[in-house]
Amino acid sequence: MHFSPSMLWPHFIPQAICTSLWLISISKGRAYTDVLFDNVFHGKFPWEITVLNFLLLIQALGYLTYSAILINKQYPFQLKERIKNIILQPENLFSNNIQNEKNYRGKWLKHFIGLSISINLIAIILYMSFPEKEVSYIYVPVLYNFIYILIVYKSFRYSPIFMPADSSKIFRYSGSSLSKEQSHDCYLKVINLIREEKLYLQFELKLEDIANRLNLSTQYVSQAINQNENKNFFEFINSYRIEEAKKLLRERSDLTIEAIAYDSGFGSKAAFNRTFKKTTGQTPSEFIKTSLQFSSAIILLLFS
C-alpha cells in the first residue's frame, strides 16, 4: 500500500489543533495558564480540552476500524473452509494442537483490535454520561487496567503467538491426517503450479489461492510447504520472488530497483529491500555491484 504526501498530512490535523490551542494559551500570559492549570486540577476542564479529547477518541476509533478492515481482508472468516476441514478431520475439532499458526495470529489480531475499539467506544460513552473529572481520573484508568489484564491473559492463552518457532514445529501437525508421502505429493503439486504459472509474481497471492487451485485445504498446503521447505507460506513464495529479482537485477539494467521489486511480485520497495537483505545478506544495490564485478572478472579471464 502506497501513500502520497497529500494522503498523509490530514493525520496531523488533531495534533496541529492541539499545538495551536496550547500556544494560544501560553500567549495569554502566566496568570491565564495558572488559572487554567488550577481549574484542570480541580476538575474544571475548559471546552477546548473536552473537544480535543473527543476528537482524539474519534480519530483513534477511525484508525482502529480501518485496521480491523485490513486485518479481516488478510485473515477472512471462511465458514466454508472451516466446515470442510471439520468434515475432513473431525478429530481435530476440539484439539488443542497448533494446526495453523496463521489462523492463531489472525484471531489474536482480531481480538486485540476488538478490545481497542471497545475501549474507545466505552470511553466516548463515559465522557458523554459522567463528569469529565470522574471519567479522566477514575473510570478510564480502571478501564485501561482491566483491558491490560485481559490482553495479558489472552497473550498467555494464545501462546503460539509468542512461542519460539522451533518448539511449535514439534507438534504443529501432530493431529494431522496427512501422511509424509501425501505431504510430499501435495508439495510437488504446489511447486509445479507456482513455477508453471509464475503465481509468485502476484503480490496479493494468498495461501487460499493455491489451495483453491489445487482443490486442497489450506492446512494441507501449509503443512506440505512447512514440512518440505521448512518455511512458512510467505517465506516460500518470497524465495521465488527473490530469485526472479536476482535475474532482473542482472539482466535489466534499464529498470529501477523499485520497478524490479514490483515486477518480481513484491507489494512495496521496502518489503523487497527487507526480504532481499534477509535472504542474500546484501542490499539490491550491493548485489548489482557484486554481479558487475563478477562479470568483469569473467570477461578478463576469458580474454586474458
Higher pLDDT, 104 or 117: 117
CB-CB contact of 69 with 110 (8 Å): no
Q: Would you state the pLDDT for residue 165? A: 45
Work out the angle between the directed axes of helices 207-214 and 218-229 (0-180°, nearest 10). Answer: 110
Q: Would you state the pLDDT for residue 276? A: 92
Please give the grid coordinates belonging to residue 248. Answer: 532482473
Query: Given a cut of 80, is residue 133 above it in pLDDT?
Result: no
Instruction: List the one residue out of 219, 225, 234, 230 whose CA is nearest residue 98.
Output: 219
Query: Given a cut of 70, is residue 251 above it in pLDDT?
Result: yes
Angstrom CA distances, 65 to 62, 112, 113, 118, 155, stand at 5, 12, 8, 11, 22
DSSP string of 147-194, one letter each residue: HHHHHHHHHHHTGGGTS-HHHHHHHTTTT----HHHHHHHHHHHHHHH
Q: How far apart are CA 77 and CA 109, in angstroms?
A: 13
Q: Would you state the pLDDT for residue 240? A: 94
Q: How far apart are CA 48 and CA 17, in angstroms?
A: 10
CB-CB contact of 33 with 25 (8 Å): yes
SS3 227: helix
Dihedral pair phi/psi, residue 72, rounded to 5°: -65, -30
CB-CB contact of 159 with 197 (8 Å): no
Mean pLDDT of the region 61-66: 85
Please give the grid coordinates belonging to residue 289. Answer: 555491484
Considering the entire predicted model, what is its pTM? Answer: 0.46
Q: Hey, CA dihedral for 284, 287, 292, 295, is it positive or negative?
A: negative
Instruction: List the one residue out of 222, 250, 247, 249 whose CA is nearest residue 236.
Output: 222
**How many beta carbons lie within 10 A of that of residue 212, not counting itself?**
13
Query: Given a cut of 50, is residue 268 above it in pLDDT?
Result: yes
